[in-house]
């Protein structure tokens, strides 16, 4: 059982998503977006492998694989570097 409540995990996830989004967009200005994505998914899978038991890890990988069509690409506005005036 997780040491965090569902609400705490949702809040942490949203905060981390926003922080990681900023880092990813920054890395994409100096590196291939494919290289950035590959690095992130590799690290994410290793983290899942470390944090989850075998059955939960397999379930997570199956969920990701079978729901690939739910992922939306970034919009051009999200992917462009912000203009500072």
> Which pLDDT tens digit goes with each residue over 55-76?
999 999 999 999 999 998 887 6
Look at residue 27 in the predicted model and tell me its pLDDT: 95
Low-confidence ranges of the chain (pLDDT < 70): 1-2, 76-85
Look at residue 28 in the predicted model and tell me its pLDDT: 92
* C-alpha–C-alpha distance, residues 72 and 43, integer Å: 21
pTM as predicted: 0.73
Classify the phi-psi angles of 52: left when phi > 0, otherwise alpha if psi is within -120 to 50, otherwise beta: beta
């Amino acid at each position: 059982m997780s040491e965090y409540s569902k609400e705490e995990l949702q809040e942490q996830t949203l905060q981390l998503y926003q922080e990681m989004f900023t880092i990813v967009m920054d890395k994409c200005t100096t590196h291939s977006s494919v290289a950035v994505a590959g690095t992130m998914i590799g690290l994410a899978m290793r983290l899942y492998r470390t944090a989850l038991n075998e059955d939960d890890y397999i379930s997570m990988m199956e969920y990701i694989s079978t729901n690939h069509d739910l992922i939306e690409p970034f919009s051009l506005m999200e992917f462009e570097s912000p203009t500072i005036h």
